[in-house]
Homo-oligomer: A and B are copies of this chain.
Amino acid sequence: MAIKRSKFPGDKVRIKDIARVAKVSVGTVDRVIHNRGGVSLDNQQRIEKILSRMDFKPNKMAQLLAIKNDYKLAVLLPESTYGEYWLDVIKGIGRAEEEVVDFRVRVEILQFNQYDIASFSKAAQELQKLNPDGVLMAPFFKREVLKLTRVLEDRNIPFVFIDSNVDGINSLAYYGPRSYQSGYVAAKMMMSNLEKSSTILLVGNAVGSNQTAKREEGFLAYLEKYSLEADYKILRVDLHADDDSRNEAQLAELFRKNHNIRGIIMFNSRIHCVADFLEKHKLKNIRAIGYDLLDRNVRFLKNGVVECIIAQRPQLQGYYGLMALAKYLAFNETVTAPVCYMPIDILLKENIDDYKVYPFDVD
């Protein structure tokens, strides 16, 4: 299909125009635009006035063409060993990178083991050696994070948090969930029409992350708010990240001892483990609710073993995080939403099919 074009309306005001009006050279105008100094106070002020009067907006193309520097962004994330959650985050980062690669922004990804402080420190070291122009990170291990951000602040390197926020640190932006609130939502989904005096099983992390803990808090807060604790029996158990057979034994034991389990909520992303168990033992009529759209979770959502999954847009977190840095650095744009919480998405069998966030994605 041939592409038609219309003439460009020559309305934009250029540096040259400013220079002509101010009766100075483009060089001088450029100096005041960028506060490079070396301009007489008189000229300085006069040109500034003209600049704003004529509403000068630099042409980004020309700017980027003329500038010879590029921006190196470092990304610090957990490895994606335990489910593809972090892969989704990286996908979003990749999409953002594509959009800004033409603006001389490059991205380097560093990963660490989310259960191993030392690996975080090591990655943080590497990051410092990279000497990036900006950093995007998931702040695991508060102490280490503080150490790192202090260095970054010293070097005037801006950084953005995703996944969870750290109080008292002046980051450029935070894009992530409100875990407490998402636990609250999960409770709502769990409790609507759950048979009274039945048992609800809460499953947590053996390793214990801040995020799952907060979700649980939110969940319990809902029960309390609507005074539901008395009507149900609440059971609590921790499962391990990798020991499947042990987990299965644990679940079997629980179900043997409790015949009235009607609801299971898993606060981390491994509801599929529970679903595996339920499916294998043909346990029906149990409402399973979990987090994060891992493929295995989605499968169980679609076949009805899992009732509901709460999601928090991992892709979007990565995308927005990187874009915030890129816009801040390459476009000199201020970040208008320094703190932005991800929507708490409620996914059911019935609405999972149309749930995609990026139509321009490759897959």
A residues whose Cβ falls under 8 Å from a Cβ of B: 1-9, 59-62, 64-65, 68-72, 102-104, 131, 133, 155-158, 173, 175, 177-178, 181-182, 184-185, 188, 192-193, 222, 320, 323-324, 327, 329, 335-337, 340-346, 348, 350-351, 353-357, 359-362
Contact = CB atoms under 8 A, between A and B. Distances in A.
Contact of A357 (B104, B155, B181, B343): B343
B69 A354 contact: no
17 contacts: A3-B133, A3-B329, A4-B157, A5-B133, A8-B69, A9-B70, A61-B62, A61-B103, A178-B354, A192-B193, A320-B360, A323-B360, A324-B359, A342-B354, A343-B356, A344-B354, A346-B348
Given A1-B156, A346-B346, A351-B344, A8 B184 contact: no
A360 B337 contact: yes
Contact of A8 (B70, B188, B351, B361): B70
A264 B324 CA distance: 42
A323 B8 CA distance: 20
A37 B220 CA distance: 71
Contacts of A104: 8
Contacts of A188: 348, 350
Contact of A61 (B64, B156, B185, B362): B64
A302 B216 CA distance: 23
Nearest to A131: B6
Contacts of A341: 353-354
Given A6-B133, A61-B65, A356 B340 contact: yes
* Chain copies in complex: 2
Contacts of A355: 343-344
Nearest to A188: B350
B353 A7 contact: no
A102 B361 contact: no
Question: Which of A5, A62, A193 has the most C-beta atoms of chain B within 10 angstroms of its own C-beta?
Answer: A5
A330 to B, nearest CB: 9
Given A6-B131, A343-B345, A346-B346, 18 more contacts: A1-B158, A4-B133, A7-B70, A59-B102, A60-B102, A61-B103, A181-B351, A184-B350, A192-B193, A193-B193, A222-B350, A323-B360, A324-B359, A327-B360, A342-B354, A343-B354, A343-B356, A345-B351
Given A8-B104, A329-B3, A354-B341, A320 B359 contact: yes
Contacts of A344: 350-351, 354-355
Contact of A351 (B1, B185, B353): B185
A69 B7 contact: yes
B65 A181 contact: no
Contacts of A184: 350
A185 B348 contact: yes
B336 A5 contact: no
A71 B104 CA distance: 24
A127 to B, nearest CB: 14
A360 B348 contact: no
A346 B346 CA distance: 6
Nearest to A218: B350
A252 B103 CA distance: 61
